[in-house]
Amino acid sequence: MKKNLIVFFSIMLISGTMLFAQKSNKIGYIDSQTILTQLPEAIKAQGDIQSAIDQVKGQIDSLQQLYQQTLQDYQKQANMMTDAKKKEAQQKIMGMEQDYNTLRAKLDANGEVAQMNQKLMKPIVDKIKKTVEEIAKQEGIQLVLEKSDQLQTIWYAEPTMDLTYKVLDKMKTGK
């Protein structure tokens, strides 16, 4: 039974490959990084995201400096403090540590900034996908691949297959 199943899938795979090979295949590619660095709404979204990152990092830096100063002051004065003052100072330091951890969490993969990135970039990526699909259908292209430096899923391609600027132009002009 197992052998028959393997033979069946092998025949299906060969048939599918032959059918695909018989059809005149047209393949294109895009460089999504080029699109994202030149598309106005993507530039704005990335600027907003970077501003949020910079703001959180600024808050972290300020808090670190304040924490260091507060900790140094506590260490210098701890011997002269009453138990109540020590406890109060320790609670203040622990509160700063919690605030620091809260701020750091905003920059984590599931943090506030990542959620902002998802919220702002998803509609743009969806728009790119839709535009790529429209151009591929117009030009009879069956497969569109990615060619950015970071994702590099293409080792070689004819420059005439590059749809990047067609996608970018259509998205910018709406035509």
Calculate mean pLDDT across residues 9-35.
Answer: 66
Helix (H) or strand (E) holding 30: strand 27-30
Look at residue 17 and tell me whether its pLDDT is greater than 60: no
Spatial distance between the Cα atoms of 60 and 105, rounded to a whole number of angstroms: 11
Tokens of 118: 């998802």
Tell me the CATH number for domain 23-173. 3.30.910.20
Q: Which residue from 59, 58, 104, 95 is spatially nearest to 74, judged by alpha carbons? A: 95
For residue 152, the model assigns a pLDDT of 62
Q: Which residues contact 42 (CB under 8 A, 6 or more apart)?
A: 35, 36, 121, 124
Q: Are residues 121 and 45 in contact, defined by beta-carbon separation less than 8 angstroms?
A: yes
pTM over 0.95: no
Q: Are residues 38 and 168 in contact, defined by beta-carbon separation less than 8 angstroms?
A: yes
Of 130 and 159, the one with more pLDDT: 130
CA quadruple 109, 112, 113, 116: dihedral, nearest 10: 110
Spatial distance between the Cα atoms of 167 and 132, rounded to a whole number of angstroms: 6
Spatial distance between the Cα atoms of 32 and 22, rounded to a whole number of angstroms: 30
> How does pLDDT run across 43-54, given as a tens digit for each residue?
999 999 999 999
Q: Are residues 131 and 165 in contact, defined by beta-carbon separation less than 8 angstroms?
A: no
> How does pLDDT run across 100-130, given as a tens digit for each residue?
999 999 999 999 999 999 999 999 999 998 9
Output the average pLDDT for the chain: 85
Band of residue 150 on the pLDDT scale cut at 50, 70, 90: confident
Buried residues in 2-37 as b, exposed as e (16+ CB within 10 A): eeeeeeeeeeeeeeeeeeeeeeeeeebbbbbebbbe
